[in-house]
Amino acid sequence: MPAAVVETVRGPLGVAVSRRSPLVAAALEEEQAWTTAQVWAARAVPDAAVEAVRVGSVLYRPDGGCTLRYRVRLAPGGRDPAGPEQLLLVAVPPARTGVVVRSFPDDPELPTLRSALDPVLMTEVLGRVLDRTGRRATGRWAVDVVRYPRQGRCVLRYRLPPGPGELRCPEVFGKVHTDATASAAASALRLLRAGARRLPDHLRLTVPRPLAVVPSLRLGLVEAVAGRPVLPDLLKRACGSGGELPAADPRALPDAVRAAARMAAAVHAVHPAAAALPARTPPAERSAAERALAQLEPVWPQIAQRLRAGTVGALAGALAGPPPAGWALSPVLAHGDFTPGQVLLDGSGTACLVDVDTTCVAERALDLGRFLAYLHVAGVRRSPAAWPLLAELSALFLEDYLASCAPAGGPRGAAADTRRLLLERTAAYRALSLARLGASACWQLKDDRLRAVLDVLDAGDEWRRDVRG
């Protein structure tokens, strides 16, 4: 094999995969990755030479199959019109029936992605959309991939070069789905925009305007809004960057956590009206977590046992039977996937909400517990010594949430029993999120993330140290 930079994804989780699925194990090996890239290049770009291969974005499946991605760098001078780096989508079957290699954007889960990336077609589509909204729509739009997760969707940005005298280029964001989710997301955005206008000033929330749904492309288009997901980066800096990153303003992280609390309170204050939203109940959430752990058992039985044991204490009694009545437990509009990465902040500190595919009706603790689960795993993954800071941030998040909810129905200075009940159910939903997050880390062969999840579960109630309840 010629000298090249070849990176692979292997770790303790891969040991069980190697025993169970030799074809998958081979696909993760550098020699096989190199061979696959060479065979693809000889067929697709015969004038180009493979210079490096990087293996990543692994998604192992319960049936023993796997999808993964190879990033292939071609040597300078290659005649590939798509550029020097190619993304290969590799599907490994559970049996020895042959590995399938496709080049991005030929994704069988997103059959309309290629069309949504076509600048000629999308210039025509965006021209029609923006003409209806009274905005300029001339010129050729450029297309960028913003986020392409392992399955189910792809976020795109469309940019129109600025015209004479214009200082910034118009932007439109699009999301390609596997199904008709784009229509449901557009409805959720309209509901949130209408509700946000009626919220008090302290719950200011920016929600982008849905521009169009293109059913033939399974594509939803929304206007661009200001804001960046700054919280994960601030947490990384605060939890021990080891000199890799410059220190941030010490007020920035607490301010971002407070903004996250206000965002959750704002979403929960929007009346779900008569929207056809899914309901997520405690029994359903418990069943979903149990199914996730049950799927792990044939491959990683000890890990499944540890994840299940880590949730027992938090779940004991907390989500058993119907929830009691009261403000803290009443169903509200919920985000459904509320994590630190979902909190976008603009320069003024206003929260921006853009990803609403999982909007549902649920109790408040669903969002609060999920946010804390991701916050704690992100912090511990960066540094095992992060708990004092995480405990402080957890208390800040919950206290600010309760304070923000006061004018919207939760009495200021909520009674101790109400606070305690909300905290107990938040802890239970946090445990469920941790179990599912740990299961997801296994299927992605993310050993470091799994270790962080297990460390968080082992820490028990450390995060509640500073929380009054």
Which CA distances in Å does 250 have to 137, 172, 254? 43, 34, 8
Residue 271: per-residue pLDDT: 86
d(CA 364, CA 351): 18
Q: Which residues contact 223 (CB under 8 A, 6 or more apart)?
A: 172, 173, 208, 209, 211
Exposure b/e, 398-424, CB count within 10 A at least 16 = b: bbbbbbbbebbebeeebeeebbebbbb
DSSP 268: H
Cβ–Cβ under 8 Å, residues 434 and 373: yes
Residue 245: per-residue pLDDT: 54
Res 165 pLDDT > 80? no
Higher pLDDT, 370 or 84: 370
Residue 48: per-residue pLDDT: 81
Confidence of residue 5 (pLDDT cuts 50, 70, 90): very low
Res 164 pLDDT > 90? no
Res 73 pLDDT > 50? yes
Looking at 3.30.200, 2.60.120, 3.40.50, 3.30.70, the CATH number of the domain 113-223 comes to: 3.30.200
Q: What is the mean pLDDT of residues 117-143?
A: 78
Structure confidence by residue, pLDDT tens digits, 209-220: 999 999 999 999
Structure confidence by residue, pLDDT tens digits, 286-332: 889 999 999 999 999 999 999 998 887 666 556 655 556 677 778 89
| Domain 231-464 CATH assignment equals 3.90.1200.10 | yes
Task: Break the chain into its structural domains and give their ranges.
Answer: 5-103, 113-223, 231-464
Structure confidence by residue, pLDDT tens digits, 275-290: 688 999 888 898 899 9
How many C-beta neighbours within 10 Å does residue 329 have? 18
How many C-beta neighbours within 10 Å does residue 463 have? 23
Q: What is the mean pLDDT of residues 168-182?
A: 86
Res 419 pLDDT > 90? no
Residue 322: per-residue pLDDT: 57
Cβ–Cβ under 8 Å, residues 461 and 333: no
Confidence of residue 8 (pLDDT cuts 50, 70, 90): very low
Q: Which of 83-87, 191-195, 214-218 has the lowest mean pLDDT?
A: 83-87
Q: Positive or negative, the Cα torsion across 331, 333, 336, 341?
A: negative
Q: What is the mean pLDDT of residues 205-229?
A: 92
Higher pLDDT, 144 or 132: 144
Res 265 pLDDT > 90? yes
Burial class of residue 322 (count of CB atoms within 10 Å of its CB; 0-12, 13-18, 19+): exposed
d(CA 122, CA 105): 15
